[in-house]
Structure 1
Amino acid sequence: MDQTNELFQSLILLIRTLRGDNGCPWDQKQTTESLKVYLQQEFQELMEALEEKSSEKIQEEMGDLIFLLLFVAEIAREQGDFSIEDVLENVKEKMIRRHPHVFGNLEVKNISQIRKNWKKIKEKEKLLASQQTLMDKLPRHLPVLLQAYWAMRKVDEMGLNEGGLPEAMEKAIHEMEKFRKSLANGDHEKARYELGDLLLTLVRLSRLLKVNPEEVVKEAVQRFINGVHFIEKNPLPKNEEKENFL
């Protein structure tokens, strides 16, 4: 633990040196706003490393992401907003609060009970916090498909979406028909609107199937690219359909 604390403090001091008077001009001019793009990039690279199950890459990308998170905390400290100590203390207290079966006297029999209790504690925390609408809570820094997935989950939890998978399938078919009619009528503005509704319905389907829509689309894009690459490298026989490879 002492070595961890020492390394942690040395990294914070390194960031302060980079931001200091004799530091790096690029680091000195960074803001929390300008760092957002790098945070998104490093998070995506960590996700890719996890997918590849490469310990070396995971370690590297975790380091890059931790560095940027500490960088953001240092900027916040400079501005008097909060410090990395505040961040660590808040998350420590939250995790202790949400694990009363470990740090308290609550007895649980299985993981299902742990999840139910976790949800109750989160709901209690929400009541103590300022009241916010669904729009206020929307995690806007997530990719749009995951924003939609998050919104669908919240709406389902509120009981505003009725039915399960069969009803969602019917809804998707209905939205597809409205989209088709809009195109047939030459109303491209209406078609654009209906396409949005159709995509949102498909995201709800992915939620009901417990499938990450971002991952599904990523995999589909990769299959498509692989198919195009195959066609580029291997001209198809005359009787072979391109659809078999795309």
Structure 2
Amino acid sequence: MNTHENKSISSFQDLIELMRKLRSKDGCPWDKEQNHVSLKSHLIEETYEVIDAIDSGNPDKLKEELADLFFHIIFHCQIAREMGEFDIDCVMALCIDKMTRRHPHVFGDATATTPEEVIHQWEQIKKTEKGFEERKFIVDGLPRHLPALQKAQKLQKKVAKVGFDWTNIHDVIAKVDEELREVKEAIREKKPEHIEEEVGDLLFSIVNLARFLKLDTENVLHKTIYKFVDRFKKVETELTSMGKDIEKCTLEEMDAVWNKVKSNISK
């Protein structure tokens, strides 16, 4: 074992000991009060901060956010240890066993030469694992708290694997057009429940279009959101430079500056 490996093991043990100290009688009042449920929102927040760091392209920021996320894993393991359920060693052993079993093309005699073959093999192996027998239907197993766009795309991928899918892009676009017409009809009817249902169907069909184009819907929408944020900041800046208060501007004034900003960006 080299010096780097020794240092890694030492750092890992130090982190575990730090967590035990925080949860001990003489530890941190806030940390001692936490449980699996109370930490849920914090875990979600830390996960999204990791994603933001990845998008930033800043390795130092990514390192920092991964440290925060890793701390949460240790936190949950310590809570489970105190309850006599499992500890970090159990989690690591399970991870090693699962990843070894799901990569027989690396650690066994199986063959998988393309990413598609790996994914197919992965899905077949999952079907043999404990807990999978609880899934009675193809559409079972969707994470309850997964964001709606991601959940819709994951659901569509599940049914596509058994052939429930469009055969060409033109049919997918036709479905989007159909759902949009139904939204318009629901609006004319002025029935709130019907409008909500049809808008949901339209969103679902757009997710399907993105999936068919091999786009990640969540990522696509995030990019559009931040593009809008950037442009609107420029609109505010431009209006301020003109001596105008954006809160007192008309829609026409804001729209004119928006188009100017958009035109300058595209040049």
Amino acid of the structure 2 residue aligned with 1:150 = K
Distance 2:220 2:114 in 1: 31
Distance 2:160 2:115 in 1: 22
**Which stretch shifts more, 225-234 or 85-94?**
225-234
Counterparts of 1:167-246 in structure 2, within 5 Å, are 167-235=171-239, 241=256, 244=259, 245=261
Instruction: Determine which of 99, 115, 121 is the counterpart of 2:103.
Output: 99
Higher relative contact order (CA 8 A, sep 6+): 1
Q: Which structure 1 segments of 5+ residues have no match?
A: none
Q: 1:179-237 CA distances to partner (integer Å, 9 max, x unpaired)?
A: 00010122222111100111111111111112111111111111222222222221389
Instruction: Give the drift of 1:32.
Output: 0.8
Instruction: Give the drift of 1:164.
Output: 3.6
**Which stretch shifts more, 221-230 or 70-79?**
221-230
Instruction: Give the drift of 1:243.
Output: 5.8
Report the count of equivalent residues: 245
Amino acid of the structure 2 residue aligned with 1:142 = L
Amino acid of the structure 2 residue aligned with 1:130 = E
Instruction: Give the drift of 1:109.
Output: 4.6
Distance 1:114 1:98 in 2: 9
Matched, 1:65 2:80: no
Q: Which structure 2 segments of 5+ residues have no match?
A: 243-251, 263-267
Matched, 1:130 2:118: no
For residue 82 of structure 2, what is the aligned residue in structure 1?
78
**Which stretch shifts more, 112-121 or 13-22?**
112-121
Amino acid of the structure 2 residue aligned with 1:58 = L
Counterparts of 1:44-59 in structure 2, within 5 Å, are 44-59=48-63
**Which stretch shifts more, 115-124 or 139-148?**
115-124
Q: Secondary structure, in 3 states, of the residue corresponding to 2:35? A: coil
Distance 1:67 1:172 in 2: 44
In structure 2, relative to structure 1, the CA distance for the partners of 1:15 and 1:109 (3 Å cut) is: closer
Q: Secondary structure, in 3 states, of the residue corresponding to 2:134? A: coil
Matched, 1:33 2:68: no
Distance 2:126 2:176 in 1: 32
**Structure 2-normalised TM-score?**
0.83
Instruction: Determine which of 115, 126, 141 is the counterpart of 2:145.
Output: 141
Q: Secondary structure, in 3 states, of the residue corresponding to 1:81? A: coil
Amino acid of the structure 2 residue aligned with 1:131 = E
Give me the CA root mean square deviation. Answer: 2.4
Runs (4+) off by over 6 Å: none
Q: Secondary structure, in 3 states, of the residue corresponding to 1:137? A: coil
Instruction: Give the drift of 1:62.
Output: 0.6
**Structure 1-normalised TM-score?**
0.89
